Amino acid sequence: MTKYSFKNDYSEGAHPAILQRIIETNLQQTVGYGEDIFCNEARALIKEYIQRDSAIHFVSGGTQANLIVIAAILRPYESVIAAESGHIAVHETGAIEATGHKVNTINTDNGKINPSQIQEVLNQHTDEHMVKPKMVYISNSTEVGSVYSKSELTELYQFCQENNLYLFVDGARLGSALTSSTCDLTLEDLANLSDVFYIGGTKNGALIGEAIIINNQDLNENFRFHIKQRGGMLAKGRLIGIQFAELFKNNLFFEMGIHANAMAKKLADGISTKGFNFLNEPSSNQIFPILPNHLINQLQERFEFFVWQKIDEDSSAIRLVTSWATPEHQVDNFLNQL
Amino acid sequence: MTKYSFKNDYSEGAHPAILQRIIETNLQQTVGYGEDIFCNEARALIKEYIQRDSAIHFVSGGTQANLIVIAAILRPYESVIAAESGHIAVHETGAIEATGHKVNTINTDNGKINPSQIQEVLNQHTDEHMVKPKMVYISNSTEVGSVYSKSELTELYQFCQENNLYLFVDGARLGSALTSSTCDLTLEDLANLSDVFYIGGTKNGALIGEAIIINNQDLNENFRFHIKQRGGMLAKGRLIGIQFAELFKNNLFFEMGIHANAMAKKLADGISTKGFNFLNEPSSNQIFPILPNHLINQLQERFEFFVWQKIDEDSSAIRLVTSWATPEHQVDNFLNQL
Amino acid sequence: MTKYSFKNDYSEGAHPAILQRIIETNLQQTVGYGEDIFCNEARALIKEYIQRDSAIHFVSGGTQANLIVIAAILRPYESVIAAESGHIAVHETGAIEATGHKVNTINTDNGKINPSQIQEVLNQHTDEHMVKPKMVYISNSTEVGSVYSKSELTELYQFCQENNLYLFVDGARLGSALTSSTCDLTLEDLANLSDVFYIGGTKNGALIGEAIIINNQDLNENFRFHIKQRGGMLAKGRLIGIQFAELFKNNLFFEMGIHANAMAKKLADGISTKGFNFLNEPSSNQIFPILPNHLINQLQERFEFFVWQKIDEDSSAIRLVTSWATPEHQVDNFLNQL
Amino acid sequence: MTKYSFKNDYSEGAHPAILQRIIETNLQQTVGYGEDIFCNEARALIKEYIQRDSAIHFVSGGTQANLIVIAAILRPYESVIAAESGHIAVHETGAIEATGHKVNTINTDNGKINPSQIQEVLNQHTDEHMVKPKMVYISNSTEVGSVYSKSELTELYQFCQENNLYLFVDGARLGSALTSSTCDLTLEDLANLSDVFYIGGTKNGALIGEAIIINNQDLNENFRFHIKQRGGMLAKGRLIGIQFAELFKNNLFFEMGIHANAMAKKLADGISTKGFNFLNEPSSNQIFPILPNHLINQLQERFEFFVWQKIDEDSSAIRLVTSWATPEHQVDNFLNQL
Q: Which of D11, D66, D236 sits opposite C202 (nearest CB)?
A: D236
Please report, for residues A9, A96, A139, A140, A141, the alpha-carbon distance to residue A144 in angstroms, rounded to integers and kept in the order given.
14, 21, 10, 10, 8
* Number of other residues whose CB lies within 10 A of the CB of residue A314: 10
Asked whether the beta carbons of residue B230 and residue A95 sit closer than 8 angstroms, the reply is yes
Which residue, among D79, D87, D102, D121, would best test binding to B if mutated, counting the most B CBs under 10 Å from its CB? D102
Chain D segment 40-99 residues within 8 A of C by beta carbon are: 60-68, 92-95, 98
Contact D64, D226 (CB under 8 A): no
Burial of B262 (0-12, 13-18, 19+ CB in 10 A): middle
Q: Does C128 touch chain B (CB under 8 A)?
A: yes
Chain A segment 153-182 residues within 8 A of B by beta carbon are: none
Q: How many CA atoms lie within 13 A of A66 on its CB side?
A: 35
What is the average pLDDT across C9-22?
98
Q: What is the 3-state secondary structure (H, E, C) of C204-236?
A: HCCCCCEEEEECCHHHHCCHHHHHHHCCCCCCC
B336 has pLDDT over 70: yes
Contact A222, D75 (CB under 8 A): yes
* pLDDT value at residue D65: 98
Chain A segment 98-127 residues within 8 A of C by beta carbon are: 98-103
- At C88 the three-state DSSP class reads helix
Q: Give the pLDDT band (50/70/90) at residue B109.
A: confident
| Closest C-alpha to C135, from C111, C109, C99, C101 | C101
* Number of other residues whose CB lies within 10 A of the CB of residue B13: 25
**How confident is the prediction for chain B on average, in pLDDT?**
97
Q: Which of C99, C103, C130 sits opposite A93 (nearest CB)?
A: C130
Determine the Cα–Cα distance for residues A313 and A331; give it in Å rounded to an integer. Answer: 27
Contact D302, D332 (CB under 8 A): no
* pLDDT value at residue D109: 87
On chain A, the residues whose CB falls within 8 A of the CB of C91 are 129-130
Domain ranges of chain A: 16-247, 252-336
* pLDDT value at residue B30: 97
If you count residue pairs, one on A and one on C, with CB atoms under 8 Å apart, how many are there?
54
Which residue of chain D is at minimal alpha-carbon distance from A132?
A: D225
Q: Does C270 touch chain D (CB under 8 A)?
A: no
pLDDT in tens, D62-109: 999 999 999 999 999 999 999 999 999 999 999 999 999 999 999 998
| Closest C-alpha to C247, from C260, C235, C256 | C256
pLDDT above 90 as % of chain B: 99
Q: Does A225 touch chain D (CB under 8 A)?
A: yes
What length does chain B have? 338
On chain A, the residues whose CB falls within 8 A of the CB of C128 are 93
* pLDDT value at residue A1: 63
pLDDT in tens, D98-139: 999 999 999 998 999 999 999 999 999 999 999 999 999 999
For residue C326, the Cα-to-chain-centroid distance in whole angstroms is: 18
Determine the Cα–Cα distance for residues A315 and C246; give it in Å rounded to an integer. Answer: 64
* pLDDT value at residue C2: 87
Shortest Cα–Cα distance, C279 to chain D (Å): 25
Cα radius of gyration (chain C): 20
Q: Which of B61, B207, B238 sits opposite A231 (nearest CB)?
A: B61
Shortest Cα–Cα distance, D229 to chain A (Å): 7
Determine the Cα–Cα distance for residues B67 and B283; give it in Å rounded to an integer. Answer: 27
Burial of B109 (0-12, 13-18, 19+ CB in 10 A): exposed
| Closest C-alpha to D213, from D69, D100, D317, D332 | D69
* AA letter at D186: T
- Asked if the bond preceding D141 is cis, omega within 30° of 0, the reply is yes
* pLDDT value at residue C279: 95
- At D311 the three-state DSSP class reads coil
Which residue of chain B is at minimal alpha-carbon distance from D309?
A: B124
Give residues with Cβ within 8 angstroms of A75, minimum separation 6: A134, D222
C289 has pLDDT over 70: yes
Asked whether the beta carbons of residue B77 and residue D93 sit closer than 8 angstroms, the reply is yes
| Closest C-alpha to C244, from C253, C235, C236 | C253
CATH node for D16-247: 3.40.640.10
For residue A148, the Cα-to-chain-centroid distance in whole angstroms is: 12
Q: Which of A19, A60, A229 sits opposite B234 (nearest CB)?
A: A60
* Number of other residues whose CB lies within 10 A of the CB of residue D217: 12
On chain A, the residues whose CB falls within 8 A of the CB of C100 are 94, 97-100
* Number of other residues whose CB lies within 10 A of the CB of residue A278: 15
Which residue of chain C is at minimal alpha-carbon distance from D227?
A: C93
Determine the Cα–Cα distance for residues D174 and D194; give it in Å rounded to an integer. Answer: 14
For residues B306, B309, B315, B320, the Cα torsion angle rounded to the nearest 10 degrees is -30
B1 has pLDDT over 70: no
Determine the Cα–Cα distance for residues D286 and C298; give it in Å rounded to an integer. Answer: 59
Determine the Cα–Cα distance for residues B163 and B132; give it in Å rounded to an integer. Answer: 12
| Closest C-alpha to A312, from A338, A293, A288, A297 | A293
| Closest C-alpha to B141, from B181, B92, B96 | B181
DSSP state of D250: T
CATH node for D4-10+254-336: 3.90.1150.10
Q: How many CA atoms lie within 13 A of D228 on its CB side?
A: 23
The CATH T-level fold of domain A252-336 is Aspartate Aminotransferase, domain 1 (3.90.1150)
Task: List, as own/partner pairs, every contact residues C114-123 make where C-beta atoms lie below 8 angstroms and the sequence separation is at least 24, other chains included.
Answer: C114/C152, C114/C155, C114/C156, C115/C155, C115/C156, C115/C159, C118/C81, C118/C159, C118/C160, C118/C163, C118/C165, C119/C159, C119/C163, C121/C81, C122/C163
pLDDT in tens, D226-281: 999 999 999 999 999 999 999 999 999 999 999 999 999 999 999 999 999 999 99
Q: Give the pLDDT band (50/70/90) at residue C1.
A: low
| Closest C-alpha to B219, from B185, B240, B193, B194 | B194
Q: Which of D76, D222, D229 sits opposite A226 (nearest CB)?
A: D76
Dihedral sign (CA C50, C51, C52, C56) = positive
Please report, for residues A54, A240, B83, the alpha-carbon distance to residue A213 in angstroms, rounded to integers and kept in the order given.
6, 14, 37
Determine the Cα–Cα distance for residues B233 and B306; give it in Å rounded to an integer. Answer: 33
pLDDT in tens, A41-98: 999 999 999 999 999 999 999 999 999 999 999 999 999 999 999 999 999 999 999 9
- The string of DSSP codes covering D198-235 is EEESGGGT-SS-EEEEE-SGGGGTTHHHHHHHTT---T
Contact B80, B101 (CB under 8 A): yes
Please calculate the CA angle A158-A161-A165 and round it to the nearest 5 degrees: 120
Burial of A23 (0-12, 13-18, 19+ CB in 10 A): middle
B215 has pLDDT over 80: yes
* pLDDT value at residue C195: 98
Per CATH, domain C254-336 is 3.90.1150.10: yes
Give residues with Cβ within 8 angstroms of B22, minimum separation 6: A13, A19, A207, B239, B242, B243
Per CATH, domain B4-10+252-336 is 1.10.10.10: no
Q: Which of A22, A67, A68 sits opposite B13 (nearest CB)?
A: A22
Q: Which of C75, C99, C226 sits opposite B77 (nearest CB)?
A: C226
Give residues with Cβ within 8 angstroms of C195, minimum separation 6: C160, C166, C167, C168, C214, C215, C216, C219
* Number of other residues whose CB lies within 10 A of the CB of residue A311: 15
* Number of other residues whose CB lies within 10 A of the CB of residue A161: 12
Please calculate the CA angle A104-A107-A110 and round it to the nearest 5 degrees: 125
What is the average pLDDT across C83-91?
97
- Comparing D4-10+254-336 with D16-247, is the CATH topology the same? no
* AA letter at B46: I
If you count residue pairs, one on A and one on B, with CB atoms under 8 Å apart, how many are there?
156
For residue D207, the Cα-to-chain-centroid distance in whole angstroms is: 15
Determine the Cα–Cα distance for residues C115 and A207; give it in Å rounded to an integer. Answer: 44
Per-residue model confidence as pLDDT tens for chain A (338 residues): 689 999 999 999 999 999 999 999 999 999 999 999 999 999 999 999 999 999 999 999 999 999 999 999 999 999 999 999 999 999 999 999 999 999 999 999 899 999 999 999 999 999 999 999 999 999 999 999 999 999 999 999 999 999 999 999 999 999 999 999 999 999 999 999 999 999 999 999 999 999 999 999 999 999 999 999 999 999 999 999 999 999 999 999 999 999 999 999 999 999 999 999 999 999 999 999 999 999 999 999 999 999 999 999 999 999 999 999 999 999 999 999 99
- The string of DSSP codes covering A274-337 is TT--BSS---SSEE-BEEEHHHHHHHHTTEE-EEEEE-SSSEEEEEEE--TT--HHHHHHHHHT
* pLDDT value at residue A2: 87
